[in-house]
Amino acid sequence: MAVDFISKELKALQDAGLYRRLRRVEGAQDATLTIDGREVINFSSNNYLGIANHPSLAAAAKAAIDRYGCGSGASRLISGNMTLHEELEAKLAEFKGTQAALVFNSGFQANTGILSTLAGEGDVIFSDALNHASIIDGCRLSRAKTEVYRHCDLDQLEMLLKDAPSGARKLIVTETIFSMDGDEAPLAGIVELAEKFAAMVMVDEAHATGIFGSNGAGVAAKLGLGERVAIQMGTLGKALGGFGAYVAGSHALRDLLINRCRSFIFTTALPPVVMAMALSAIDLVRHEPQRRAALWENARSLKQGLRGLGFELGRSESPILPLIIGEAEKCMKFSEQLLARGVFAQGIRPPTVPPGTSRIRMTVMATHTAAHLERALKAFGETTAPA
Ligand SMILES: Cc1ncc(COP(=O)(O)O)c(C=O)c1O
């Protein structure tokens, strides 16, 4: 039968220890979660600041529904461009210190759409080897030649830039905080190379927005490089606790994307409630720096505790702590053992991470209490790392 391949593929995934299943969370997203009727401590979300269930976001969402209704009814270019879309874009531009911003329905759609708008056949994209799947797919979709440089390797990036055909449009794309390793890209060096070789720079601040920089605007802002990075993409669904994504940059960039970017044009606009949550989240991020302070203190404390237990945490420079286990099946067993001890720390396997580097990806939240961290360390201490 024509569909027989489906069960065969599933069996192959199972045999390779790569079969995935959905786990149901009952109730709201917080520092603890209810899974299978049991409360566990949540070390597996990108809700870094713990505001996904904040009363201010909820109140803003309810007020937006009362005033603007539920759905947006159409794409932005037809009749779906509502007051709150433009309000949020103005606020994002101010937050990021750019001329303009444009909201996307998700980070995945932003990356695929932006890359395929800004580069095409005959152009060259330079992409870090550990960039997110949405960046990889954006490179593919663009039909530009993609030069993948070794993770954070500026020397190789320089060689590749040197070798690029003259006349080709060049675009360097990198995450600023890498989602699965938690390390920071060498952005100052990337920007210098870009200027030397007349390349554009696009950053993905999905895991930096809300956390890095004195006002939470991200790594480019932290380093004072905002004006030298033309395309600053980020998400609204991680530290900002809601959903959706944005790109910040010039008026011209925004205009071109509105005119050419297929993942922006051919999709229903986000509903007003999503904009309202993001507007409220940006206020929290700006006016409550104590959340970032608590996050960093928790990250420091958990890192210290895990290292004290003998765990290697790689190059992490963020609240993302990767505990590399290696083989996929061992990694998932380790994660199950932790869950049995009340600690939800998801195992991450290929293709999300390279083969042989399956890992427990721990993420810290500002709202974890000292007792949560202690319980986690106890669980890790009791769980045998597979040989
Ligand atoms: C680095 C990075 N970029 C983009 C995305 C996609 O963002 P979204 O979840 O909003 O689609 C993610 C999230 O998984 C991510 O980690």
Residue 32 CA to residue 43 CA, distance in Å, equals 9
CA 122 to ligand 1 center in whole angstroms: 27
**Tens digits of per-residue pLDDT, 14-26?**
998 889 999 999 9
- Does the CB atom of residue 233 touch ligand 1 within 6 A? no
Probe residue for ligand 1, chosen from 134, 348, 352 as the CB with the greatest number of ligand atoms within 8 Å: 134
Q: What is the separation, in whole angstroms, between the first and last Cα of the chain?
A: 42
Q: Which pLDDT score, from 0 to 100, does residue 17 have?
A: 86
Low-confidence ranges of the chain (pLDDT < 50): none
Ligand 1: centre distance to CA 110 (Å): 9
The β-bridge relationship of strands 320-326 and 231-235 is: unpaired
State if residue 357 touches ligand 1 by the CB under 6 angstroms criterion: no
Measured from the CB, is residue 242 less than 6 Å from ligand 1? no
Q: Output the pLDDT for position 386.
A: 53
The Cα 209–Cα 236 span in angstroms is 8
Q: Give the ligand 1 atom nearest the CA of 236.
A: 10
Question: Which residues are catalytic, by number?
Answer: 179, 207, 238
- Spatial contact of 62 and 69, defined as CB atoms under 8 Å apart: no
| Predicted confidence (pLDDT) per residue in 27-49, tens digit | 999 999 999 999 999 999 999 99
- The whole-number pLDDT of residue 314 equals 86
pTM: 0.96
Please tell me if the CB atom of residue 204 comes closer than 6 angstroms to any atom of ligand 1.
Answer: yes
Distance (angstroms) between ligand 1 centre and the Cα of 207 equals 8
Note the pLDDT of residue 385: 60
Does the CB atom of residue 108 touch ligand 1 within 6 A?
Answer: yes
Amino acid at 373: L
Q: What share of the chain is helix, strand, coil (3-state, %, to 5)?
A: 45, 20, 40
Q: Looking at ligand 1, which residue's alpha carbon is closest to its atom 16?
A: 179
